[in-house]
Amino acid sequence: MKLHVLRAWSKLAARAAAAALSAAMAVCVPAPAIAAMAADSAAGRTPFQVRCEDTIAKTVSVLSSRSNGYTINNQLPFNQLTARSGSAANGMATLGLTVTNGQYAVKLGGTILQDAASGYECIAPRVELSLNYSPVLIYVSNEFAPGSCG
């Protein structure tokens, strides 16, 4: 089945729909098609557009993040921390260093409504982005007594 983009109701909606559809379905919508959709918005809505607006779910974007705490390590001298940080070439000393690892997960989905008569489809994309950080490891050089930096 050919993929048709439902006529947009405003220039902003046209661009947002094309961008969301392109991102969610890896479909490239050329700029002239976006301009044509925006031009059609003044012509009024078709029965399918009305049905689409009234029955399909709204576009949803969900962003969540989770941090997993931290630990403090006082076992390394400042010269080893300086070597790890890469600042030795600048003639600087690293007395403390923070290390973490960020991970992400993306889920794409959505609701699609099809009109067999016209061949049009409308979509309400759902994008979920989850950010997860491993426990932060805070290095404080062993030249400082534990607990003296807080």
pLDDT band at 48 (very low <50, low <70, confident <90, very high): confident
In a domain, 131, yes or no: yes
In a domain, 146, yes or no: no
Are 43 and 8 a contacting pair, CB within 8 Å? no
Is the pLDDT score of 80 beyond 50?
A: yes
Domain that holds residue 34: 11-140
Whole-model pTM?
Answer: 0.48
| Tens-digit pLDDT profile for residues 87-146 | 777 788 899 999 988 899 999 999 899 988 888 889 989 999 999 988 899 999 999 988
Task: Indicate whether 5 belongs to any domain.
Answer: no
Distance CA 34, CA 16 (A): 10
At residue 29, does pLDDT exceed 80?
Answer: no
Residue 42: phi and psi, rounded to 5, are -75, -15
